[in-house]
Amino acid sequence: MSEPPASYTLNELCVLADLPVRTLRYYVQNGLIDRPDGETRAARYGAKHLEQALLVRKWTAAGLSLERIRDILHGQEVAVTARPKAPGSIEVCSHLCIADGLEMVIEPTRAGMTPEQVRTFAKGVMALYAAITSTQEVPSSTQDKQI
């Protein structure tokens, strides 16, 4: 098994990233992918270029605008704006069952949360619920009235 080359030509990078040459050049021109080492036919692309191309392709397929992708790649703080749900749209949500009859639904993208933040949030909610329910004993007369 041979090791992948340390650098790629434009055509090799396009094959690896599954992007047309014209699209990759557009991404470089607009700052989504770093400029290659060298110019014209001698230009070489490395692993970082491949990673950037794959990220851009993944995020465009997920519906992000090129402007937003550029901001993310350059580490700028990006404000998350919730888009109204359109008929037929699909969302991936996290459902947290806190207790019987008590659930929380989180749509991480619209909430602007990473998967790690969602996990931390869920742990915090569960800890808060446990703290509240362990300190509050419901009197038996109140329990009868709740039914």
* SS3 state at 41: helix
What is the per-residue burial (b if ≥16 Cβ within 10 Å, else e) of 56-80?
bbebbeeebeeebbbebbeeeeeee
Amino acid type, 111: A
pLDDT at 76: 67
The answer to whether residues 14 and 66 belong to one domain is: yes
Residue 61 located in a structural domain: yes
pLDDT at 79: 53
The answer to whether the predicted template modeling score (pTM) of the entire model surpasses 0.85 is: no
Count of CB atoms situated within 10 Å of the CB of 24: 22
pLDDT at 41: 75
What would the two tokens of residue 137 be? Answer: 């004993």
Mean pLDDT for back-to-back runs of 10 residues, the chain (147 residues): 71 91 92 85 87 88 84 68 66 85 85 82 93 73 51
Distance of CA 52 to the CA centre of its chain: 15
pLDDT at 24: 92
The answer to whether residues 113 and 63 belong to one domain is: no
* SS3 state at 40: helix
Whole-angstrom distance, CA of residue 145 vs CA of residue 142: 5
64 sits in the region (left: phi over 0; alpha: psi -120 to 50; else beta) called: beta
| CATH number where 31 lies | 1.10.1660.10
Domain residues for the domain of 123 are 94-137
Q: Which residues pair with 99 in a beta bridge?
A: 102
- Counting the structural domains of the chain, the total is 2
Q: Quick: pLDDT tens for 63-102.
A: 888 888 888 887 765 555 555 667 777 777 888 899 999 9
Count of CB atoms situated within 10 Å of the CB of 12: 15
pLDDT at 115: 78
